[in-house]
């Protein structure tokens, strides 16, 4: 199913955030690959506010009160993050190391976000893998961002809209891609070192 952002955001940013709430409440395993931005469930409040303010402009969301629109959407996403504490769900996040270096927002905001990633990795049911920029990735190219919910749904956020994939043979392709990408990832102390290296770069600039 394909939904243009114009349709997704027709009821406003808060409604768009709420539209996926049930999915997060019911899933048992989430696998998220992100080469460009911090996944929403791992974002600080400041990062989310900056990101959704950008969405308001980039996706031409019509609203009489932009500040209130963003504030309501941020509150909904922050509340949704409480679901990371569900004991019956597991959350896997796979990041490209280069996204740790991107700075679309202020230096202070990114420092806070990286510290938040270091903290959230200590949760027992959240696993964050980071693919090193220097990894030997012959035949394993970076892909578009995608999420795999359990074993039946893939969602992809593209420039113009939101794609939901449910055909088993297509979900299987994304699952195979996830496995190839995850095989390149570092976890544990190696991932911690990459986060600290990104923080050091920010401290030096």
Q: How many domains does the chain have?
A: 1
Beta strands in the chain (DSSP E): 2-4, 29-34, 90-96, 126-131, 146-149, 153-157, 161-165
194 within a domain of the structure (yes/no): yes
Taking the model in full, what pTM does it have? 0.93
57 within a domain of the structure (yes/no): no
CATH of the domain at 151: 3.30.870.10
Tens of pLDDT along the chain (205 residues) come to: 898 877 777 778 888 889 999 999 999 999 999 999 999 999 999 999 999 998 877 766 667 788 898 999 999 999 999 999 999 999 999 999 999 999 999 999 999 999 999 999 999 999 999 999 999 999 899 999 999 999 999 999 888 888 999 999 999 999 999 999 999 999 999 999 999 999 999 887 7
67 within a domain of the structure (yes/no): no
- The strand order across the sheet containing 126-131 reads 2-4, 161-165, 153-157, 146-149, 29-34, 90-96, 126-131
**C-alpha torsion sign, points 14, 122, 194, 150:** negative
């Amino acid at each position: 199913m394909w939904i243009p952002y114009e349709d997704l955001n027709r009821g406003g940013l808060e409604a768009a955030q709420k539209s996926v709430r049930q999915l997060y409440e019911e899933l048992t395993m989430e696998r998220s690959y992100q080469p460009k931005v911090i996944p929403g469930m791992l974002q600080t409040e400041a990062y989310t506010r900056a990101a959704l303010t950008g969405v308001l402009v980039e996706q031409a969301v019509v609203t009489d009160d932009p500040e209130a629109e963003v504030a309501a959407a941020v509150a909904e996403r922050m509340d949704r993050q409480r679901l990371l504490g569900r004991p019956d769900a597991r959350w896997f996040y796979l990041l490209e190391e280069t996204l740790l270096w991107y700075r679309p927002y202020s230096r202070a905001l990114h420092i806070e976000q990286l510290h938040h990633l270091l903290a959230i990795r200590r949760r027992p049911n959240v696993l964050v893998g980071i693919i090193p920029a220097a990894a030997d990735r012959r035949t394993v190219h970076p892909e578009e961002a995608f999420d795999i919910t359990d074993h039946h749904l893939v969602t992809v956020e593209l420039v113009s809209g939101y794609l939901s994939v449910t055909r088993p043979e297509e979900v299987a392709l994304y699952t195979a891609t996830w496995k190839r990408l995850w095989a390149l990832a570092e976890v544990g102390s190696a991932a911690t070192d990459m986060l600290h290296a990104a923080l050091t770069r920010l401290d030096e600039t």
